[in-house]
Amino acid sequence: MSEEKSKQGLREIIVSIQNEVLSDELLPDRAAELLKKLSALLGNINDKIVETEFEYSKELLRQLDLEQKANRAKIKAETSDEYLAKQEARNLKELVIEMIRSLKYFLRAKAEEYREGGY
Protein backbone atom coordinates (compact mmCIF):
# COMPACT_ATOMS: atom_id res chain seq x y z
CA MET A 1 0.00 0.00 0.00
CA SER A 2 2.86 2.39 0.76
CA GLU A 3 4.28 1.72 -2.75
CA GLU A 4 0.96 2.72 -4.31
CA LYS A 5 0.81 5.83 -2.13
CA SER A 6 4.41 6.67 -3.10
CA LYS A 7 3.61 6.18 -6.79
CA GLN A 8 0.54 8.38 -6.51
CA GLY A 9 2.55 11.05 -4.71
CA LEU A 10 5.16 11.06 -7.46
CA ARG A 11 2.50 11.16 -10.15
CA GLU A 12 0.68 14.01 -8.39
CA ILE A 13 3.90 16.04 -8.12
CA ILE A 14 4.60 15.56 -11.82
CA VAL A 15 1.04 16.42 -12.88
CA SER A 16 1.24 19.56 -10.76
CA ILE A 17 4.48 20.54 -12.50
CA GLN A 18 2.93 19.70 -15.86
CA ASN A 19 0.01 22.05 -15.18
CA GLU A 20 2.42 24.80 -14.21
CA VAL A 21 4.51 24.24 -17.35
CA LEU A 22 1.36 24.53 -19.46
CA SER A 23 0.56 27.88 -17.87
CA ASP A 24 0.93 30.98 -20.03
CA GLU A 25 2.43 32.81 -17.05
CA LEU A 26 5.55 30.67 -16.58
CA LEU A 27 8.58 32.83 -15.89
CA PRO A 28 12.15 31.80 -16.69
CA ASP A 29 13.24 31.65 -13.03
CA ARG A 30 10.34 29.34 -12.18
CA ALA A 31 10.99 27.26 -15.31
CA ALA A 32 14.58 26.75 -14.15
CA GLU A 33 13.33 25.63 -10.73
CA LEU A 34 10.90 23.18 -12.30
CA LEU A 35 13.62 21.86 -14.60
CA LYS A 36 15.84 21.19 -11.60
CA LYS A 37 13.00 19.46 -9.75
CA LEU A 38 12.08 17.27 -12.73
CA SER A 39 15.70 16.27 -13.21
CA ALA A 40 15.85 15.18 -9.57
CA LEU A 41 12.56 13.28 -9.85
CA LEU A 42 13.90 11.36 -12.84
CA GLY A 43 16.10 9.34 -10.49
CA ASN A 44 13.07 8.42 -8.37
CA ILE A 45 11.22 7.33 -11.49
CA ASN A 46 14.12 5.18 -12.61
CA ASP A 47 14.08 3.47 -9.20
CA LYS A 48 10.34 2.89 -9.58
CA ILE A 49 10.86 1.39 -13.03
CA VAL A 50 13.40 -1.08 -11.66
CA GLU A 51 10.96 -2.10 -8.92
CA THR A 52 7.99 -2.50 -11.24
CA GLU A 53 9.94 -4.43 -13.85
CA PHE A 54 11.15 -6.80 -11.16
CA GLU A 55 7.58 -7.34 -9.90
CA TYR A 56 6.36 -7.92 -13.45
CA SER A 57 9.16 -10.43 -14.08
CA LYS A 58 8.07 -12.36 -11.00
CA GLU A 59 4.47 -12.37 -12.24
CA LEU A 60 5.55 -13.52 -15.69
CA LEU A 61 7.55 -16.33 -14.14
CA ARG A 62 4.54 -17.29 -12.04
CA GLN A 63 2.36 -17.41 -15.14
CA LEU A 64 4.95 -19.46 -17.01
CA ASP A 65 4.85 -21.99 -14.17
CA LEU A 66 1.03 -22.15 -14.39
CA GLU A 67 0.66 -22.28 -18.17
CA GLN A 68 1.88 -24.81 -20.67
CA LYS A 69 2.38 -22.26 -23.45
CA ALA A 70 4.69 -19.28 -23.13
CA ASN A 71 2.58 -16.96 -25.28
CA ARG A 72 -0.50 -17.61 -23.14
CA ALA A 73 1.52 -16.99 -19.97
CA LYS A 74 2.80 -13.72 -21.40
CA ILE A 75 -0.70 -12.56 -22.30
CA LYS A 76 -1.93 -13.35 -18.79
CA ALA A 77 1.05 -11.57 -17.23
CA GLU A 78 0.38 -8.53 -19.41
CA THR A 79 -3.10 -8.22 -17.92
CA SER A 80 -1.73 -8.09 -14.37
CA ASP A 81 -1.43 -5.15 -12.01
CA GLU A 82 2.34 -5.59 -12.13
CA TYR A 83 2.39 -5.00 -15.88
CA LEU A 84 0.15 -1.96 -15.51
CA ALA A 85 2.45 -0.50 -12.83
CA LYS A 86 5.46 -1.12 -15.07
CA GLN A 87 3.83 0.66 -18.01
CA GLU A 88 2.68 3.58 -15.85
CA ALA A 89 6.22 4.06 -14.52
CA ARG A 90 7.65 4.05 -18.05
CA ASN A 91 4.99 6.51 -19.24
CA LEU A 92 5.75 8.78 -16.30
CA LYS A 93 9.42 8.76 -17.26
CA GLU A 94 8.58 9.70 -20.85
CA LEU A 95 6.40 12.56 -19.62
CA VAL A 96 9.18 13.89 -17.39
CA ILE A 97 11.76 13.63 -20.17
CA GLU A 98 9.51 15.55 -22.55
CA MET A 99 8.84 18.24 -19.95
CA ILE A 100 12.58 18.55 -19.31
CA ARG A 101 13.15 19.01 -23.05
CA SER A 102 10.34 21.53 -23.25
CA LEU A 103 11.65 23.57 -20.33
CA LYS A 104 15.17 23.57 -21.78
CA TYR A 105 13.79 24.86 -25.08
CA PHE A 106 11.69 27.47 -23.27
CA LEU A 107 14.72 28.72 -21.34
CA ARG A 108 16.88 28.85 -24.48
CA ALA A 109 14.19 30.81 -26.31
CA LYS A 110 13.83 33.27 -23.43
CA ALA A 111 17.60 33.72 -23.23
CA GLU A 112 17.65 34.47 -26.96
CA GLU A 113 14.85 37.02 -26.53
CA TYR A 114 16.82 38.77 -23.78
CA ARG A 115 19.97 38.81 -25.91
CA GLU A 116 18.08 40.36 -28.81
CA GLY A 117 16.52 42.95 -26.52
CA GLY A 118 13.03 41.52 -26.65
CA TYR A 119 12.48 42.44 -23.01
Q: What pLDDT does 29 receive?
A: 95
Query: What separation in angstroms does the CA of 88 have from each of 10, 13, 58, 95?
Result: 12, 15, 18, 10
pTM beyond 0.85: the answer is no
Q: What pLDDT does 118 receive?
A: 58
Q: Where are the domains of the chain?
A: 2-108
> Residue 29 and residue 61: Cα distance in Å, rounded?
48
> Residue 18 and residue 98: Cα distance in Å, rounded?
10
Q: Give residue-wise pLDDT tens across range 83-115.
A: 999 999 999 999 999 999 999 999 999 999 888
Helix 81-115 vs helix 2-22: angle between axes, to the nearest 10 degrees?
Answer: 30
